[in-house]
C-alpha cells in the first residue's frame, strides 16, 4: 500500500493513537520540542503532511496539506484550512509562507528532497522551515523499523534518514540548519513516558529532534 492508501484506510486508528497514554505523553514532549523553535516565526504557517491536524492545532498553524483525504477530513474538523496535494508539488505560489512545518512526514514521502525544495520555494526569503523527525541513528528508529518488519501498517512504509543524509538534502534544497533541539531520551517503550524538557542541539540518541532551517542567500553561497 502507498502512504496515501495507508493513511486513508487507517486515519481514525492513526488519530486515536494520540489519545492513548503513550501517544499523548509523547505528543506533549514532541510539541514542546517544536515549540522551542517557534518564537519569532512569521506567518502565515503551512504544515506539509498535516495528517489529522493534531500538531497544527496545537502550534497555531493555519494551513495544512496532505495527500490523504481520510486524514484531511479530521484536520478540517480541528479548524485547519486544508488542501489535498503532494509535498513534492505544492499548489502554492513562490514565497507565500513565513514558516513551513514538516513534522513526522519526511519518513513517509516518496521524494524527500523534492519536498524540501518545494518547502523552500513557497517560503519567503526571511522564512523558516521547521522539521520534526526521528534520526536514523536513534534507538527509537531501530525500534520502529522492527515494528514495521513485524507488520505495523505505518512503520512498514516509513524510512528514517541519518544526520548526514538530512543535511545533504537540506543543502541541495538551498536550506541550512540554524538551530536544533532534541528530546525523548528514554529507551524505546510503549508505556507512557514522563515529560522532559528539550535539550539544545541535535542529539542522535534522542527519539525526536526538531530543526529550524533558513534559506541560503546568494551572498552566503559564495562565502
pTM, full prediction: 0.94
**pLDDT digit string, tens, across residues 83-113:** 999 999 999 999 999 999 999 999 999 999 9
CB 119 within 8 A of CB 173: yes
Higher local confidence (pLDDT), 222 or 22:
22
- The predicted structure's pLDDT at residue 222: 39
* Segments making up each domain of the chain, as ranges: 3-216
**pLDDT digit string, tens, across residues 46-93:** 999 999 999 999 999 999 999 999 999 999 999 999 999 999 999 999
- Domain 3-216 bears CATH identifier 3.40.50.150: yes
Q: Nearest 5°: phi and psi at 90?
A: -70, 130
Residue 26: its H or E element: helix 21-35
Amino acid at each position: 500500500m502507498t502512504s496515501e492508501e495507508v493513511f486513508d484506510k487507517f486515519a481514525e486508528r492513526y488519530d486515536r493513537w494520540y489519545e492513548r497514554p503513550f501517544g499523548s505523553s509523547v505528543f506533549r514532549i514532541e510539541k514542546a520540542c517544536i515549540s522551542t523553535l517557534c518564537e519569532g516565526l512569521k506567518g502565515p504557517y503551512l504544515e506539509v503532511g498535516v495528517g489529522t491536524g493534531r500538531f497544527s492545532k496545537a502550534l497555531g498553524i493555519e494551513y495544512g496539506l496532505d495527500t490523504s483525504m481520510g486524514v484531511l477530513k479530521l484536520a478540517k474538523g480541528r479548524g485547519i484550512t486544508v488542501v489535498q496535494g503532494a509535498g513534492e508539488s505544492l499548489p502554492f505560489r513562490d514565497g507565500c509562507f513565513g514558516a513551513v512545518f514538516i513534522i513526522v512526514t519526511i519518513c513517509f514521502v516518496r521524494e524527500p528532497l523534492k519536498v524540501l525544495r518545494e518547502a523552500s520555494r513557497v517560503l519567503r526569503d526571511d522564512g523558516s522551515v521547521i522539521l520534526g523527525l526521528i534520526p536514523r541513528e536513534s534507538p527509537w528508529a531501530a525500534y520502529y523499523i522492527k515494528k514495521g518488519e513485524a507488520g505495523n501498517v505505518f512503520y512498514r512504509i516509513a524510512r528514517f534518514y541519518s544526520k548526514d543524509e538530512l543535511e545533504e538534502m537540506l543543502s541541495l534544497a538551498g536550506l541550512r540548519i540554524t538551530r536544533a533541539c532534541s528530546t525523548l531520551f528514554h529507551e524505546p517503550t510503549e508505556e507512557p513516558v514522563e515529560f522532559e524538557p528539550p535539550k539544545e542541539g541535535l542529539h542522535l540518541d534522542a527519539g525526536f529532534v526538531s530543526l529550524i532551517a533558513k534559506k541560503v542567500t546568494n551572498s552566503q553561497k559564495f562565502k
